[in-house]
Amino acid sequence: MSDTDSFIEEVSEEVRRDKLFATMRKYGWIAVLIVLLLVGGTAYREFRFAADEKLAQETGDAILAALELESSNDRAKALGEIQSSDLAGKAIIGLLQAAESSLALDNSSSFEILESLETSGLSVAYVQLANFKKLLLEDSGLSTEARISEFESISESASPYRLFAEEQLALIELSSGDRKAARKRLSGIFEDASASKSLRQRVSQLITILGETQKPSGN
């Protein structure tokens, strides 16, 4: 390579270096900002995770402490004082409070708690559970006709509580003296392939009490 070529190459290299430095001076702050955002975002996520974990632990400890109280009234009251920003946490606390209120024979309060859960923006699974538990309450202010209508609506749907609603309808029919309708409904539950073992066992016992023996189809 001649001296001229070498000189041109050195000049070109210097020009490229100057352009690179100029670009870095002009846009380097963007790279710094990106790094700061990434580091800051990671730190914030870690902080939020730690804060949420601490809050969840405190909520869990408060629930356990409430459940260790002696009377159902005290447990229900203590559960009602627990605050949770998490919807699932609110659902669990509400369901536990409703159960304790029911044990304390305060079905009206239990009914109100469960009804409020239905309209609090919870997931479908929690809403369905709250609705079904609400219908199980007697002397809550809901008429028998309304309970029957609600149970029938559940039994005709794809709800996971469909067969349990059928069971409740059979019990209502038994309490009203309609043994024939109850036996027919119980037999339908027993023969349903989706019936759980425990449900089928309960239904079988009821059918036996009514003077019949139920066997699976094909036996």
Kindly report, residue by residue over 175-192, the tens digit of the pLDDT.
899 999 999 999 999 999
Q: Which 3 state secondary structure label does DSSP give 85? A: coil
pTM: 0.69
Kindly report, residue by residue over 65-74, the tens digit of the pLDDT.
999 998 999 9
Kindly report, residue by residue over 62-105, the tens digit of the pLDDT.
889 999 998 999 999 999 998 887 888 889 999 999 999 998 88
Alpha helical stretches, state H, the chain = 3-67, 72-80, 87-103, 107-118, 124-136, 144-155, 162-175, 179-191, 197-209
Highest mean pLDDT among 22-26, 51-55, 89-93: 89-93
pLDDT of residue 218: 45
